[in-house]
Structure 1
């Protein structure tokens, strides 16, 4: 059985969705260990044994222990679902790897906004300048995807891959900070993602999100 250390709708959602795409039965079952972000629980839970940074996601499978969502997605795809990977020698491999790591560029900006807008509580206040610059950078990463999706359904010309799975967390969280109406291709891409049965099974496991307390977080006033 594979064990996934997980925070609801965090980066570990990528791994949860990938496991559903591969098939839970391929791993002999799935145990999801949910952690509470923003509390001491993660530091005191023993997660550090699996994840040196004491962050999610992390997996345990037989003798394998791994953390970092991009590394886990790349390894599981190449090992259990080569059709979702682009293996060495495949001409699309460089682009596949680029999109997997592009997802982390985007996710780091979302993480920064989460810290500024969700985790900071009164009397702390988010910095309007930092939030504005971070939203602008996030919008630019979305614009890059919008351009790349011209004339295709998925990030790679040959079709759906684990690179698209890496965007599962990003496209869930980005609309809380960026109005998505300016990105029609991305909205259509997000709809295609949400129509996948494996994605729907992952969302069903997650249940209603409990992190964001509003539908949209505008840049705070100075």
Structure 2
């Protein structure tokens, strides 16, 4: 049994979009839970099995999978599709690299910048906004998506934070065009409708 602990309009929304892209949303029990949000709304939900009270959390036959990069890799292997290159594919290395780069570099850089933190140790370990921007610009300079000509799960993940912090997105046109392509997808719009329909339930919870 697959169970996803989800709160609408949070990081777990990208997992909802992924499940829609994979035509697998109906194969997952989505449990809507409350979470403590940065604006002060919400609170830790005892119904949420995540040990830190966060989302997303995927539970498969009692086994917990945490962190979006890991959940995305798990789901794309469980439901094979064109969204993830298979082992042996020459783009597999870049695919795994972007999954790790998101959690190891992009989110730390965005959060530390948002908080106004600056220290040589941060740049040495995580790099900065300029390096992050260059990585995206270089990857997209001669191709429409991060791995080439087709949209994959890494495009979904790496583009997702710019939804809630668009001012942080690189202004270079190749990145802006890529972001527009990533959001101009039926699954992206379906995810928005799905979350909107869950809001009354989330408030009641």
Query: So what's the TM-score if we normalise by structure 2?
Result: 0.76
Native 8 Å contact 2:94 2:147 kept in 1: yes
CA RMSD of aligned residues (A): 3.1
Structure 1 consecutive aligned stretches of length 4 or more whose deviation exceeds 6 Å? none
Query: Which runs of no fewer than 5 residues in structure 1 stay unpaired?
Result: 117-126, 208-222
Deviates more, 1:55-64 or 1:198-207: 55-64
Q: CA separation in 2, counterparts of 1:139 and 1:7?
A: 32
> Judging changes above 3 Å, is the alpha-carbon distance between structure 1 residues 179 and 107 closer, same or farther for their aligned structure 2 residues?
closer
Deviations 1:40-67 (A, max 9, x none): 832x5243xx434433210234434321
Deviations 1:168-203 (A, max 9, x none): 422213423x364x3111111111111110011112
Q: Give the total of aligned pairs.
A: 190
Q: CA separation in 2, counterparts of 1:11 and 1:92?
A: 25
**Residue 45 in structure 1 maps to residue 46 in structure 2:** yes
SS at the partner of 1:205?
helix
2:136 maps to which of 120, 123, 145: 145
User: Corresponding residue for 1:80?
Assistant: 79
Shift of 1:149: 0.5
Native 8 Å contact 1:4 1:59 kept in 2: yes
Native 8 Å contact 1:109 1:138 kept in 2: yes
Q: CA separation in 2, counterparts of 1:110 and 1:20?
A: 27
Map of 1:86-165 to 2, 5 A cutoff? 86-104=85-103, 105-113=105-113, 116=115, 127=116, 130=118, 137-165=128-156
User: Corresponding residue for 2:200?
Assistant: none
> Judging changes above 3 Å, is the alpha-carbon distance between structure 1 residues 99 and 86 closer, same or farther for their aligned structure 2 residues?
same
Deviations 1:27-47 (A, max 9, x none): 1554433423256832x5243
Query: So what's the TM-score if we normalise by structure 1?
Result: 0.71
SS at the partner of 1:144?
helix
> Judging changes above 3 Å, is the alpha-carbon distance between structure 1 residues 22 and 31 closer, same or farther for their aligned structure 2 residues?
farther
Query: Which runs of no fewer than 5 residues in structure 2 stay unpaired?
Result: 197-205
